[in-house]
């Protein structure tokens, strides 16, 4: 092994989420996207259930999806301001590719649902890391649409499926400053047997 530990962890140290508004063309080409997806689905998967799938939103279909979500947002809140209505309409139009990461819970399995959700969440995170490693930017978003039953129906989700996130992928249009991270020493404790 030639990399030092610092070199090996460089990708993780540089990882950040650029705003989806700052992600533009190009998206990964088909071969690059396929390679990214093959890597992204290499996640911990208790019971080999494959409790996840992906839905791609591209081109004019992203705009149609946003229009449908804006209609749903207005139905949920008729007092929604025009600015917020426009935000809903355009939410998925900035990045050239949006991947919807879907968790599909196997209710017949003894594997707890939370473990299945975490497996799907790892797919979303791997998409962020993989996109960055390939020179793209990616942002994982949820928002109200990830939890709305009518949006789930619009996406064709089954009874035991749920959106884990919308991963927006594209090329960075501007440099994004990193945010301050919590000190690890404030997060790590040591368990000791009290006996």
Distance CA 70, CA 74 (A): 6
Are β-strands 161-172 and 97-104 bridged in parallel, bridged antiparallel, or unpaired?
Answer: antiparallel
133 within 8 A of 11, measured Cβ to Cβ: yes
Helix, strand, or coil (residue 186): helix
136 closest CA partner among 111, 100, 167: 167
| 20 annotated as a binding-site residue | no
| 107 annotated as a binding-site residue | no
What letter would DSSP give residue 94?
Answer: S
| 17 annotated as a binding-site residue | yes
| 15 annotated as a binding-site residue | yes
| 72 annotated as a binding-site residue | no
143's torsion region: left (phi>0), alpha (psi -120 to 50) or beta?
Answer: left
| 16 annotated as a binding-site residue | yes
| 142 annotated as a binding-site residue | yes
Strands (E) across the chain are located at 23-24, 52-58, 97-104, 137-141, 161-172
| 32 annotated as a binding-site residue | no
Annotated binding site for FMN: 15-17, 42, 46, 140-142
Annotated binding site: 15-17, 42, 46, 140-142
């Amino acid at each position: 092994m030639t990399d030092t530990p610092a070199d090996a962890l460089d990708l993780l140290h540089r990882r950040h989420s650029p705003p989806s508004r700052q992600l533009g063309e190009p998206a990964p080409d088909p071969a690059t996207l396929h390679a990214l997806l093959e890597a992204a689905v290499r996640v911990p998967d208790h019971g080999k259930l494959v409790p996840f799938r992906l839905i791609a939103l591209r081109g004019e279909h992203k705009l149609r999806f946003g229009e449908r979500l804006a209609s749903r947002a207005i139905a949920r809140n008729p007092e929604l301001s025009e600015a917020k209505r426009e935000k809903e309409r355009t939410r998925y139009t900035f990045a050239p590719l949006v991947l919807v990461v879907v968790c599909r819970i196997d209710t017949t399995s003894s594997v707890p649902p939370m473990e299945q959700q975490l497996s799907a969440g790892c797919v979303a995170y791997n998409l962020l890391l993989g996109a960055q490693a390939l020179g793209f930017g990616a942002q994982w978003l949820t928002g109200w649409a990830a939890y709305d039953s009518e949006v789930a129906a619009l996406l064709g989700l089954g009874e035991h499926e749920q959106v884990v996130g919308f991963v927006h992928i594209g090329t960075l249009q501007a440099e994004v400053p990193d945010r301050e991270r919590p000190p690890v020493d404030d997060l790590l404790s040591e368990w000791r047997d009290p006996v």
